[in-house]
Structure 1
Amino acid sequence: MSIKPIDDNTWAGILSVQSEVYLQVEPETIEVLQSKWRRTPQCCFVYQDKESVLGYLLAHAWDKQAPPKLFKPLPEESGVLNSYLFLHDLAISDKAAGQGIGSKLVSHLISIAKTMGFDEIRLVAVQDSSTFWINMGFSVVDKQSISSTYGEGAKMMRYALQGE
């Protein structure tokens, strides 16, 4: 089992994991997911056992205060310097639950984000996942407007990369 970059052969597995784990939020289309991947492909990867995708992580550079809306492809890059890395999605198959795969993928992203010079990682915690993110070192961002597409109880969170 290992962490590998996303490529054209992993999308069927990614879509399968996504449809398996998202119960409170509708799964996104492949076009939307690939727009995140194309923005910052070095921050998007899968966790595989042989050819089977057990989990994935999609993160991309982002330059706006509000998180991107779900179900919409990212707009073309604005040319503005990206201020942070947005962790769009982390999903682990139920078949691989409890193996620490989510933590491994997040730790891998943190290492890459530091190397790339990002100051912070932000995300929106959905489906009551904020405890996992707090355990990974993220903190809740108060008074941040979040689109209702993220579902009931969604929380903006951040992880500071600089000054550690």
Structure 2
Amino acid sequence: MSIESIVETTWPEILKLQAEVYHLVEPESLEVLQDKWLRSPGSCFIYRDDEQLVGYALAHSWNSKAPPKLFNKLPKGIEGSILFLHDLAVSSNSFGKGIGSKMMAHLVNVAIVSGYREIRLVSVQNSMQFWRKQGFTPLEQAVCKSYGDSAQLMKRVLWA
């Protein structure tokens, strides 16, 4: 089991996993996903188990209380004190192995070392319980309908 940086040749595996795990939210295009990686490669990574990609995370710098819009490349001038976790996906074949928690611990480490004050995300597909276990709390702010019916903006403060 290992956490690795995303490289160009990883994208077909990432797209395959995205199609597997997102069934209540429409998957985003390769171009949109790669834009997040190109903007912030140090906070984007994959998780392999026995050479097989079983998880990926895409996170980027952000400076707004509102989450980024889905299906769009990031706007210019987004750098800020927030690390926005756009995707953390784990294969359903790997549920119960603690992979999501390991990936989250790695991302928190990256965020702290990089000087981010908090991590924000939009919980989708009824995943709020997982995010609460990772130290996230819900925010009252509404999110765009493209995130799905059960979408909830959440944050985890790293330092005040």
Tell me, in whole angstroms, the C-alpha distance in 2 between the residues paired with 1:104 and 1:130.
Answer: 17
Which SS does the other structure have where 2:47 is aligned? strand
Deviation per CA, 1:99-130, whole angstroms, max 9, x where unpaired?
11111001100011000110000000000000
User: Structure 1 residue aligned with 2:148, among 130, 146, 151?
Assistant: 151
Which SS does the other structure have where 1:10 is aligned? helix
Q: TM-score, normalised by structure 2?
A: 0.96
* Identity fraction in percent: 50
Query: Bigger CA drift: 14-23 or 41-50?
Result: 41-50
Tell me, in whole angstroms, the C-alpha distance in 1 between the residues paired with 2:66 and 2:38.
Answer: 20
Tell me, in whole angstroms, the C-alpha distance in 1 between the residues paired with 2:4 and 2:53.
Answer: 10
What is the aligned partner in structure 1 of residue 45 from structure 2?
45
1:92 aligns with 2:83: no
**What 5-or-longer segments of structure 2 have no aligned partner?**
none
1:29-68 to 2 correspondence within 5 Å? 29-68=29-68
Q: TM-score, normalised by structure 1?
A: 0.93
Tell me, in whole angstroms, the C-alpha distance in 2 between the residues paired with 1:24 and 1:17.
Answer: 14
What is the aligned partner in structure 2 of residue 139 from structure 1?
137
Alpha carbons 2:21, 2:89 under 8 Å: kept: yes
Tell me, in whole angstroms, the C-alpha distance in 2 between the residues paired with 1:38 and 1:81.
Answer: 13
Tell me, in whole angstroms, the C-alpha distance in 2 between the residues paired with 1:13 and 1:100.
Answer: 20
**Number of aligned positions between the proteins:** 160
- Give the CA deviation at 1:39: 1.3
What is the aligned partner in structure 1 of residue 75 from structure 2?
75
Tell me, in whole angstroms, the C-alpha distance in 1 between the residues paired with 2:40 and 2:57.
Answer: 12
- Give the CA deviation at 1:50: 4.4
| One-letter identity of the residue aligned with 2:104 | V
**What 5-or-longer segments of structure 1 have no aligned partner?**
none
Root-mean-square deviation over aligned CA pairs: 1.2
Query: Bigger CA drift: 120-129 or 96-105?
Result: 96-105
Tell me, in whole angstroms, the C-alpha distance in 1 between the residues paired with 2:136 and 2:104.
Answer: 11
Which SS does the other structure have where 2:106 is aligned? helix
- Give the CA deviation at 1:97: 1.4
What is the aligned partner in structure 1 of residue 10 from structure 2?
10
